[in-house]
Amino acid sequence: MRNLENKEKIIQVSGILKIIAWLGMAWNAFLGVSAMFDALLLPLLLRGGVFREGSMPNIRTVAWTTFPAAVIGFIVWWNFWQLFRRLNDGHIFDGPTVARLATAGKWKLAGWIYSLFSITILEYLTEQTDSHKLWIEFVRLFVVEISHVNGLIGAMAILLAAWLLREGQTLDEEQKLTV
């Protein structure tokens, strides 16, 4: 009786979480489209107007580093949306559901690594720092910046949850075999 009640609660909550995941996908799609607009169309529309010649490469550099981050964010939220869709359909401990969570965690980790490199390279391209200072900036971002540590902790928490669900899946399969 208790397991049936828990399954119904998971189905109810996953419907709400599926909407939140869809909003995350929409937000990252908006970021990607706006980054492409900033990189391709904005310099053409405003040529010789508001922007001086020296500021144009900075706009393109920021836009081209934002677009891959938006794509990675979209993939993470798409995997969450697929996960919550499967949970809403009642698939809790099956392989594809657990694989969606693990895939979202891996893409979140890839996004964290990309953010470290993109911010470091963006700093190098916009500030024109020396190449030996580039690695110092990378280490500073890796060690000091709290937002980047939060990205790592979030990715590791997702991967830990996927591992726990995978272990729950194997226990569930073993119980079915013994009964």
Residue with the larger pLDDT of the pair 24 and 44: 24
Q: What is the pLDDT of residue 103?
A: 94
Q: What is the pLDDT of residue 100?
A: 92
Nearest one of 83, 122, 78, 127 to 101, comparing CA atoms:
83
Cα Rg of the chain (Å, integer): 21
- Interacting residues of 154 by C-beta distance below 8 A, sequence separation 6+: 108, 112
Q: What is the pLDDT of residue 1?
A: 37
DSSP 3-state of 46: coil
Output the average pLDDT for the chain: 78
* CA dist 176 → 1, 6, 49, 89, 170 (Å): 17, 19, 70, 21, 10
> What average pLDDT does this structure show over 37-60?
60
Q: What digits encode the pLDDT tens for the residues 55-102?
A: 555 666 667 778 888 899 999 999 999 999 998 888 877 888 889 999
